[in-house]
Structure 1
């Protein structure tokens, strides 16, 4: 490594230290709303530090890295955007709609991939003399790859939960129709189904009932379910429940029809999936089984011709 590269590395470290020092100064910190309101709140008297049984260390690594991770997450959110899309996918995956926490996870994944890229770059540097610029480019690409991998995992989790909800929907709709036909009200039927069922859709119904008990109206809580899931059959299911609650219309036949439609949609999806699998199964048949069959058919004749010659 030449002196010019050593100077560049030392200059980069000095600049990074200056930036971190400026970020840690009180002048560059944002004043949070909680910090502004806290002096005007009544707080219980603090215990003496002599009676505290906490860890005697003055700081921990988590307390030091949390503000840095939060700032990196906010910067990543400004660069990538799409906060509403991320929040919708978090709700669809059954997670809390905390976009900042998800951005922090993306930063952590990016840093881990960057660390692996740094190790690989060091190996390439010392063994093959790779240029430091190539190593930095590799580290940047690894960071972006970690961010995108975490985003892809969120999308997969949302899709997997949606498929599970759609698999549970026909049974839940039929149970609800049976309860309504037996004479129970819509709210009582929802409570019975949520209590007796297990799964993601039952958990969503239980959450709606909990929101209704804490002050929200049941139609508002049901509309929250449709917003969190974002699935077409579930939205129509919720609309039917809301209309029945507001207008008192009969609900049993509507729920049975929705359950039949959901089963038909699931059967159609299975047929389409079977068609795709049939095409993919042609690959081993054509490239593995058929050549072996032809070889077994041709090899004895070729052997006899060789012996005859």
Structure 2
């Protein structure tokens, strides 16, 4: 390839990049025009419901709470609404956010999905530009690559949320027997139910202790203790914690010995953990058979047969 061809190809590529950057900047400017900034219902009603003078915007924080530039916030909000309309499942997302210990803000999570999709799209665009520069792949295939990268980023954020929820519940299950035994010791020493919960929350840490602190905060805010504990069972959805809450509620309402209930709950949780470990060990044992059968065994058979085959060939 001659020097003139290389220079002409480089200038055309630079022109394409500059044109794309100009188009993206123009789209952002048009999206941020005052005529396109339609205030929402909350912004329209806030001046009439607020009982304090509205502070000046010049005295507010310089950046947005999410770390995005102010010009990108409306665009990300629109894209997040579009992702929510396409994917749906707001109830499932809110449920998994609660299980992960996060605030059930579906809009914020959709914005995170948009950002993950944008990051994956930029990576796909860089890969597509590299392939285009080397002359590999058609334009349709490269555009499809970028679209698939964006979709993969959105789906990856959703899968990450599910993984966070499952990991948090697994940690709560590991903490549950110890917390139940501590509650049994505190109640057996003469503490009341609320006092025992406060002592356990003060002495222990972890996800389950944080959930119990949340329950105590709800109880101090005016809810009854059984109702606050039922919120714990609803937020997590774990069967063992649901039985734990039911045992406390029945013991509080009927006056049965709560320490015995806690000890039984701890014993059941340890037995369930032991069964889970055995089941996981069984699955791992089966998975270990795959390399043994398909890798080690053929190599062993080959080493056993090859000398005989070589001797027969040498004899013939």
Match of 2:6 in 1: none
> Within 1, Cα distance between the matches of 2:60 and 2:182?
54
Q: How does 1:184-263 map to 2 (within 5 A)?
A: 184-263=191-270
> Within 1, Cα distance between the matches of 2:42 and 2:310?
88
Q: How far off its partner does 1:23 sit?
A: 6.8
> Within 1, Cα distance between the matches of 2:153 and 2:218?
36
Q: How far off its partner does 1:85 sit?
A: 0.8
1:27–1:66 distance in 2 versus 1, CA, 3 Å: closer
Q: How far off its partner does 1:292 sit?
A: 3.3
CA RMSD of aligned residues (A): 3.3
Q: How does 1:89-168 map to 2 (within 5 A)?
A: 89-128=96-135, 130-168=137-175
Task: Structure 1 unaligned segments of length 5 or more: list them.
Answer: none
Deviates more, 1:291-300 or 1:267-276: 291-300
1:54–1:244 distance in 2 versus 1, CA, 3 Å: closer
Task: Structure 2 unaligned segments of length 5 or more: list them.
Answer: 1-8, 10-14
Match of 2:12 in 1: none
> Within 2, Cα distance between the matches of 1:179 and 1:304?
78
- Cα-to-partner distance string for 1:199-244 (whole Å, 9 max, x where unaligned): 1111111222223233333222212211211111111111221222
> Within 2, Cα distance between the matches of 1:45 and 1:115?
38
Whether 2:57 is the aligned partner of 1:41: answer: no
- Cα-to-partner distance string for 1:249-283 (whole Å, 9 max, x where unaligned): 22222222222221121111111111111111111
Whether the aligned pair in 1 keeps the contact of 2:211 and 2:232 (CA below 8 Å) is yes
> Within 2, Cα distance between the matches of 1:123 and 1:132?
12
Normalising to structure 1: TM-score of the pair? 0.83
> Within 2, Cα distance between the matches of 1:27 and 1:153?
34
Normalising to structure 2: TM-score of the pair? 0.81
Alignment length, in residue pairs?
Answer: 296
Match of 2:274 in 1: 267
Whether the aligned pair in 2 keeps the contact of 1:23 and 1:29 (CA below 8 Å) is no
Match of 2:5 in 1: none
Deviates more, 1:296-305 or 1:80-89: 296-305
